[in-house]
Structure 1
């Protein structure tokens, strides 16, 4: 039986550091980490890369001694409303089933489909049915889907997230908790996490503050209003030992593409600084836990 790690390993979403793979690998190695979460390479999602381009990237990651902890897919995300063609999501999952095997990871980030103007209860019915089918196919392929508390039917509601997991009834569906999404989406992150923590299999570390005009500004972990430290404490107390993957959003905000706004690009120096700040915050939370 594999041993349970004593601490959660640290990782990072690579395109937050640099668009290109070389820059992404350099950033995690500068931090002394060996875990990378893949979302895009040169702005192209993993599932949309050409076969030769993907093969070269996979070889390069392996040669660098870096492991891929997860792939952040577009399945059900802010660009894929429930009114859209589900075949697109199924096709992406098929591609990722092959590519994740090549990358040596099982984990795929998904969301649960924005409404696209569809009212409840139809929105919920369709979203749950789609995620149930995705989980069935993922289980057959040996993948683990992790649903993020972001866009979609179950993105900001604990009861809905629990219903999503229960209705899928599959070991291939668990939750991804992003500590910083509450500010942008209007909920208290620690309060959302508490009833979900036993189902959390992956974590994104992000922090933010609300600014005038209903906008969100992203800041160093522990310096914002998102309750990041409390979230990490809840996870620590529950015994979470999955990865903590940084997603600074300081220079890159992929969701802005939906409105035609420039999403920016990764910044290696800011990414590394963010990683150091995350290390310090995690140490503090663990030390406090040891003293209690």
Structure 2
């Protein structure tokens, strides 16, 4: 997908549903209000997708099919901030087994993972553990027809492009690719566009959020283009490479899921804010397309 001419397809826009509301009907209504028909699933009524009962999952499938909305990805807990590299790996394997079955029912291939906080391991041991674990996960994902999308967030390969490339090279599987979140650099202390450039050929899914650092060193989330994440520049990098995947909004304006792991209040989604966020992203995408079209016309 090139973004250089109006005759070419526009980026595929979606959103992480629980950023709009806890309940699935409200999540579906939010993307439909935007005129979109794609949803990324993370939790339903606060429960991760792999932890839903069979009855609750079956009901969710019925609602999704009736809505006509397509599920484009599932955000798993595998390797995230709550699961250090010293933890029980069988928990992640069990989650992947459940998600493999459920993704087949939903008709979705992309599963978000991370690469494990250290849990106190030395850097060499941490890296070895992550390579081994993600390699095994990718082997199983490949057998199941899934793609594990590793996010630039928590974990050994989350904050450094060289480690992300090392992980991809070591695992050497089409079932491991990159989920690039353009807003994570603010919280984790790196320039997102700089990190994205060497990774862009492996990017299979994108999260869009933006943020600023506050005076007390915390991270405050803001509409896309209003913070320090370089959202528009990242969109240009993706466009230049011909990225053909999804741009999925993750506003974090009212919901910050990682706070739950530390015993804090993560908040809850807000439908109105979610919809407004989507409108702002649509405008940013139009701006990138028009700028690139004008540049092509000058050449």
Short-chain TM bin:
over 0.9
- Of the three residues 186, 192, 195, the one matched with 1:192 is 195
Partner of residue 172, structure 2: 169
Tell me by how many angstroms 1:287 deviates.
Answer: 1.0
TM-score when scaled to structure 1?
A: 0.98
- Of the three residues 44, 47, 63, the one matched with 1:44 is 47
- Of the three residues 14, 17, 20, the one matched with 2:20 is 17
**Structure-2 separation of matches of 1:290 and 1:37:** 30
Partner of residue 153, structure 1: 156
Does residue 64 (structure 1) correspond to residue 77 (structure 2)? The answer is no
Q: CA deviation digits over 1:81-103, x for unaligned, max 9?
A: 00000000000000000000111
* SS of aligned partner of 1:196: helix
- Of the three residues 189, 207, 210, the one matched with 1:207 is 210
* SS of aligned partner of 2:198: coil
**Structure-2 separation of matches of 1:260 and 1:30:** 33
Q: Alignment length, in residue pairs?
A: 288
Tell me by how many angstroms 1:8 deviates.
Answer: 1.5
**Structure-1 separation of matches of 2:189 and 2:261:** 19
Partner of residue 268, structure 1: 271
Return 5+ residue gaps in structure 1 as ranges.
Answer: none
What aligned pairs does 1:77-88 form with structure 2 within 5 A after superposition? 77-88=80-91
Partner of residue 4, structure 2: none
Q: Which runs of 4+ in 1 moved over 2 A?
A: none
Determine if contact 1:7/1:241 at 8 Å carries over to the other structure. no
Tell me by how many angstroms 1:7 deviates.
Answer: 2.3
Q: CA deviation digits over 1:124-163, x for unaligned, max 9?
A: 0001110011000000000010000000000000000001
* SS of aligned partner of 2:74: strand
**Structure-1 separation of matches of 2:294 and 2:197:** 22
Partner of residue 247, structure 1: 250
Tell me by how many angstroms 1:240 deviates.
Answer: 0.3
- Of the three residues 110, 113, 138, the one matched with 2:141 is 138
Determine if contact 1:16/1:251 at 8 Å carries over to the other structure. yes
**Structure-2 separation of matches of 1:7 and 1:78:** 33
Q: CA deviation digits over 1:210-238, x for unaligned, max 9?
A: 00121000000001001111000000010
TM-score when scaled to structure 2?
A: 0.96
What aligned pairs does 1:229-240 form with structure 2 within 5 A after superposition? 229-240=232-243
Partner of residue 74, structure 1: 77
- Of the three residues 91, 98, 101, the one matched with 1:98 is 101
**Structure-1 separation of matches of 2:260 and 2:185:** 20
Aligned-residue Cα RMSD (Å) equals 0.7
Does residue 116 (structure 1) correspond to residue 122 (structure 2)? The answer is no
**Structure-2 separation of matches of 1:198 and 1:6:** 19
**Structure-2 separation of matches of 1:240 and 1:163:** 22
Return 5+ residue gaps in structure 2 as ranges.
Answer: 1-7
